[in-house]
Amino acid sequence: MAAASSSEHCRDSKSSFSPTPWPKIMPFKPHWTFAFLILAVCRCFADSDHEMEEFLKREYSLSKPYQGVGSSGSSHWELMGDAMVTTEQVRLTPDMQSRQGAVWSRMPCHLKDWEMQVHFKIHGQGKKNLNGDGLAIWYTKERMQKGPVFGNMDNFTGLGVFVDTYPNEEKHIEAQKKRYTPRTQRIFPFVLAMVGNGTISYDHERDGRPTELGGCNAMVRNLKHDTFLFIRYIRRRLTVMIDIDGQHEWRDCLDIPGVRLPQGYYFGASAITGDLSDNHDIISLKLYQLTVLRSPKEEQEESEDEITIPSVDNMDLLRMGDTEEGMSGIAIFFTVLFSMLGCIFLIVIGLVVYSHWNESRRKRFY
């Protein structure tokens, strides 16, 4: 207790000069300071958590008993194509070939920050990689449009999050007798996200690789437990997570800043089957409004920078990363090739030098 003894020493030395006694100084205790710091840190985290609150928006949500869905104009949701409502789910497609269906919100969403939790199920009789094609969750300007992108139109405007269950690119490469590299191979089913501005096409043959923001593998077929998809858009940041292991824990899938989505778009879900099929079911779509505290400066900046066309700030960097990833395979090939040629050249030079040295050594003996 060096601090305490020092204080007592000061007090005793001062008392000889003044008749008034000094007040007693409490000894310094490091553990009190440590406890105070822990409390302060916890308070900071608590304040951070309280900066955001969520509220369920029933007018943008779809859940049991699906009252009036698909049959009444008063419902907030509308069916399209082969979609049908049962007591347990909204079935977008049955396990039959060449079907497509969708369910779309009738009301545009004007929330700035939101979170969508999707309870879904994909199941069928097909074995692994003999099923298809997958489902999509949408937040787009257009609605109720049939098309080839998981049952929705191509060149859409807005956000699409896809649960792709069939590896088109892999089968295409196998048909051409080419070989996947570990860098490019992915495991299906695969979850990915894409932002379209009305002019960008989804590359079906390459499973959306050229335009994807990111993704993760998700083994979601024929599971006995519930499967969930989580989509959050807050402060122009898109986060996608999955809960597919039956542990009630979210697993990170992608997290992309700089995603610009206008307000006033429609939520929807769609699915499609081709030569291969699956049951694609939506059990619930629950939308939460997120209230986030913003500084006056942030409010002003967002009001001045109004979003009218969907975009991603770092999309060029993401594409550059894909290009560099593709070029790295070529670079490795040429590196190995030139290394082998260099080794052969050095061996030849070594043999020539050795032969000359051996010949000159023989001449010295004559």
Reply yes or no on whether the pLDDT at 30 is more than 70: no
| Cα separation, 321 vs 208, whole angstroms | 15
CA–CA distance, 49 with 26 (Å, rounded to integer): 36
Tell me the two tokens of residue 168: 């088109």
Mean pLDDT, rounded, for 176-187: 61
Q: Output the pLDDT for position 163.
A: 98
Check residue 323 and give its pLDDT. Answer: 42
Written as one string, the DSSP assignment of 2-69 is HHHHHHHHHHHHHHTT-SSPPPPPPPP-HHHHHHHHHHHHHHHHHHHHHTEEEEE-GGG-B-TT-TTT
From the number of C-beta atoms within 10 Å of its C-beta (0-12, 13-18, 19+), residue 285 rates as buried
In the chain, what percentage of residues exceed pLDDT 70?
74
- Please say if the pLDDT value at position 326 is more than 60: no
Predicted TM-score (pTM) of the model is 0.74
The listed CATH number (2.60.120.200, 3.60.150.10, 3.40.50.300, 2.60.120.920) that belongs to domain 54-322: 2.60.120.200
77: CB partners within 8 A, 6+ apart: 62, 66, 69, 70, 103, 104, 105, 106
Q: What are the boundaries of each domain within the chain?
A: 54-322
Better-scored residue on pLDDT, 172 or 121 = 121
Evaluate if residue 282 carries a pLDDT over 90. yes
Sign of CA dihedral 68, 58, 243, 275: positive
For residues 330 and 163, the model is more confident at 163
Q: What is the pLDDT of residues 184-218, one digit of tens each?
A: 578 999 999 999 999 999 999 999 999 999 999 99
